[in-house]
Structure 1
Amino acid sequence: MHYTNSINTTKPNKNPISSERYPIRILHIVGGMNRGGIETWLMHTLRNIDRDRFHMDFLVHTTQPCAYDDEIRTLGSQIISCPVDRFQPWKYSANFQQILQMYGPYDVVHSHVHYFSGYILRLAQRSGIPIRIAHSHNNTSCVEAKAIWYRRLYLDLMRTWIDRYATLGFGCSRQALVDLFGCTDNIHPHLQVLYYGIDLTSFCDPVDTVAVRSELGIPKDAFVVGHVGRFEPQKNHVFLLDIAAEIVKREPKMYLLLVGVGSLRADIEQRVTKLGLGDRVIFAGSRSDVPRLMRGAMDVFLLPSLYEGLGLVLVEAQAAGLPCIFSDVVPEEADVVKPLVNRISLSQPASSWAEAVTTASQSEIVKNTRKQAFNTIEKSWFNVCNQVNELQSCYTKQLYPNL
C-alpha cells in the first residue's frame, strides 16, 4: 500500500500542467446519489475539485430521483441512469457500453460499488477506458464470511476481475483496502488509502442551539444523543435503541436524535414504541444540514455499527466537537481527535454503553478539547482541500505518468 506522510493544507491546486488534455473526464459509478457517506464525500469532492481540469459525471443504478441530483446538474455534471437487473446482466453490459459511447469519451471510470466493481471495470476495459479504479468504502468481511456457496463464487469472480482490470485501487481505510483487494503489505504500488475529505465550511457557521432544538421539538435543557446513518442492518439501530433505553434510566432528560432514511425505519419506529421511548426519539429524516444539527442539537454522538469502511460521520462529529461513543470494529483512522473518542466492544451490554455515553458528556477533558477539535480536523487528511489535491494528483499521474 502507498501512504503519503506529508499534508498539504493549501486549497485544491488550480495550476494546469501544459501537456495535459483538459478536462480529464471521470465517470463515477454509484448506486444512487442520496445522502450517505460515499455520496456525501463525492459531493464534497465535486464542489471543491478544479472543474476546469476535471469533469465528473455519475452513472447510477437507479431510475429514482436522488437528493443530490439537482445540485450535481447545477455544477455542470450529469446523472446517467443504468439500472442493474441481476437476472439479466447482459442488459447492463449493453446499456453501460452505450452510455460510454453517448456521454464519453471518458478517461477514468471510478467505481464505488464494492465487489460489483469487478464487472464494471471489465466492461470499461473492453470499451477502451485507460484508467479504471475500484474504490472500497466498506469492510464487509464479517458478513461475507457467512456467505452461501453461490455468493462465494460471485465474490471470487469479482475479486479476480478487480485484480485483472483495475489500474488503481483505493480504500477509505486500511481495513477497507484489505477487504476488497486482500492486500496487507507494501508491495502493491497501484493500491492506496485515500481518506474521505469533508468540507469544513459548515462547521464554522454560527449556530443558535435554542433555535435548532426548538425546530426539532427538543427542550433546550435536554441531553441529546445523536446518530446519523441509514436505517439498514449495518448501523445496528436495534442495539442503539437498547442503549437509549438504558441512558434514560440514568439521565431522564435524554432525547435520541436519529438522522437518516432506510428500509428498516418502520421497524425501528415500532421498536421505539415497544420500549416506551415514543416521546424521546426524534426521526429527523434525510437532512442537508448535518453539521448544524451536530453543533446545535447534539451533546454526544453514538455509532454502534456492526461494520464500517471508515465512518465519515464520526469525523464530522469530531469536527463538531462532540464526544463519540462507537463500536471497536470501526477503523482506527477515524480516531482523529483522541480525547473525544471512546471505542466499546459490541459484546458489551447496553448498560455499559449507556454508562460511557453519560460519562463522556460530563468529562472535563472532553469539554476542554472541543475548542481544539476543529483545528485538528482542519490540519488532517480529512480536510477536503487536502483530499482533493491528492485525488487530482492520482488522476493526473495515472493518465500522464511521465509528467
Structure 2
Amino acid sequence: MKPQMNADERRQLLITSHRSLGTDKIRILHVLGGMDRGGVETWLMEILRHIDRDRYLMDFVVHKTEPGAYDEEVLSFGSRIVPCLYPSRPWAYALNFQRILREFGPYDIVHSHVHHFSGYVLRLAKYAGVPIRIAHTHTDTVSSEQRGGFYRRLYFHFMKSSINRFATVGLGSSYQALAALFDSDCNCDPRWQVVNYGLDLSPFQGRIDRDLVRAELGIPADAFVIGHVGRFLAVKNHTFILDIAAEVIQQEPKMYLLLVGDGLLRPNMEQKAVQLGLGDRVIFAGLRSDIPRLMRGAMDVFLFPSLYEGLGNVRLEAQAAGLPSVISDVVPEQGDVVLPLVKRVSLSLPAFAWAEALLLHRDAVSRVSPSDALAQMANSQFNIKTAVKQLENIYLSQLIGL
C-alpha cells in the first residue's frame, strides 16, 4: 500500500502541479470594508507579510475612499487597494466591481470577508468568470440575526442562499462562525472548513520595560491594570466593561482600566466613565500598532466580555503575552490554548460577579510562566507559519481541482 503523504509533502505536490500548468503568480482579490486595525484586517496583514509573495499576489477591494491604517504597508508589498463604493446600491456596486475585475484582473480567486454581503460579491465574481470564489466568515452572528426584523431576515436568507450557490469554498474562524453563515449543517458540506487565525509571535519575545510602558500611558508602576482591545462597537460590551471596573475599584483601589481601540461608541463610553467616577482611572488609548507591547508592559489581566465572537483573535494575543484572561462563555473554546490563563464567565452574571472572578484570576500567571505560555502558542495551530501553510494549501488545492 502506498504510504499516505504528510501535509508538507502534499503542499509541495500542489505547488509543483500548479507550476506545471505554466502559470505565474496566483492572483487573489480580497474584499472587505477597509484596511483598518481590526481583527480581520490584522489577520490579512499577517498573511500578506508571511505568504510567499513570489507565488501569490494579493490585492484588496475596500468599501471606502478614506485611507486605512494598513494602506501604506499594503502598497509597500506591491499589492493594490481599490475602492469599490456604494455597497448599499446594488447596481452601482455591480458596475464598479465588474470594472475592477476587468481593469486589475484577471484574478484566480475572489476571497470575500464581508459576511452576508459575500453572497452578492461572489455572484458578481461568478458571472465575471472568476473560477475560485471564497466566502470567509470571521464572526458568529446567530444572536444578532435572530433580533432582526422581517426585511433584515429576508436579506440574510437571500445572501446565505447566494453564498451556498456561488461559493466554491467557505471558510470560518471557528465552527460557530461557520454555522452562523453556512447554517448548522455546515459539517455535511466539504466546501465549508475552519481556517486558523495566525499570530506572528516575534513581538511577544524579548525583554519589556514595564515601568517605561506604564509611564508613557500615565499609569503608576504599582497599579493593577485591566486591559481590553477592541473596536467601540456594541458587540464588544464596553458598557459592561466599565460596570465591572466600577466594581473592581471598590476592592482594588489601585485599579486602572486600559481600553485600546476606537469606534462610534467611544464618546458614549468616555461619558459613562466620568459618570461612574472613573474619569481618571480609564485610559482611552485609541488605535495602536503595539498591542503586544501594551499587553506585556501595561496590563495585568485581560477582560473580554464580548456578546459574540467568531474566535476573538485578540485573546490569542493575550495568551501569547502570558496574560490571565477573563472572557465570556460565548467566545469559542477553540481559541483556549493556554488553559491556566483562561477563565470563562457567563454573561448572565452581574458585574460584581465578573469583578470577583477577575480579582481571583489575576494570580493565574503564577501557574504558567510567560515563556511557557509563548511556547504553547508557538506549538499551536495559531502560529502564523502554520496558518499561512493552511491557507496556501486551500488556494492551491482549489486551483488544481479545476
State the TM-score, normalizing by the size of structure 1.
0.94
> Structure 1's 275 and 167: CA in aligned 2 closer, same or farther, altered over 3 A?
same
- Structure 1: state its 5+ residue gaps: 1-5
Q: % of aligned pairs identical?
A: 56
Look up the match of 1:32: 34
Report the AA paired with residue 40 of structure 2. I
Name the SS of the counterpart of 1:238 in structure 2: helix
Contact 1:327 1:344 in 2 (8 A): yes
Q: Distance in 2 between matches of 1:182 and 1:213?
A: 45
Look up the match of 2:388: 388
Residue 250 (structure 1) shift: 1.1
Look up the match of 2:176: 175
- Offset from partner CA, 1:45-100 (integer Å, 9 cap, x none): 000000010110000001110100000000110110012241x3100000000000
Look up the match of 2:378: 378
Residue 185 (structure 1) shift: 5.7
Counterpart check, 1:195 vs 2:196: yes
State the TM-score, normalizing by the size of structure 2.
0.95
> Structure 1's 7 and 341: CA in aligned 2 closer, same or farther, altered over 3 A?
farther
Counterpart check, 1:244 vs 2:240: no
Q: Distance in 2 between matches of 1:93 and 1:237?
A: 37
Contact 2:256 2:281 in 1 (8 A): yes
Of the two structures, which has the highest relative contact order with CA contacts closer than 8 Å and spacing of 6 or more?
1
Contact 1:7 1:381 in 2 (8 A): no
Residue 171 (structure 1) shift: 0.5
Contact 2:84 2:93 in 1 (8 A): yes
Q: Distance in 1 between matches of 2:159 and 2:187?
A: 23
Name the SS of the counterpart of 1:242 in structure 2: helix
Contact 1:198 1:382 in 2 (8 A): yes
Residue 365 (structure 1) shift: 4.7
Report the AA paired with residue 95 of structure 1. N
Contact 1:245 1:275 in 2 (8 A): yes
Q: Where in structure 2 are the equivalents of 1:100-115 lying within 5 Å?
A: 100-115=101-116
Q: Distance in 1 between matches of 2:206 and 2:47?
A: 20
Counterpart check, 1:285 vs 2:286: yes
Look up the match of 1:155: 156
Count of aligned pairs: 393
Look up the match of 1:80: 82
- Offset from partner CA, 1:24-49 (integer Å, 9 cap, x none): 00000000110010000000000000
Q: Distance in 2 between matches of 1:339 and 1:14?
A: 40
Look up the match of 1:266: 267
Structure 1 residue corresponding to 2:68, chosen from 51, 66, 69: 66
Contact 1:321 1:369 in 2 (8 A): yes
Contact 2:340 2:364 in 1 (8 A): no
Look up the match of 1:326: 327
Counting helix residues as a fraction of each chain, which structure ranks higher? Answer: 2
Contact 1:7 1:386 in 2 (8 A): no
- RMSD of Structure 2 on Structure 1 (CA): 1.8
Residue 184 (structure 1) shift: 3.5
Contact 2:15 2:396 in 1 (8 A): no
Residue 176 (structure 1) shift: 0.1
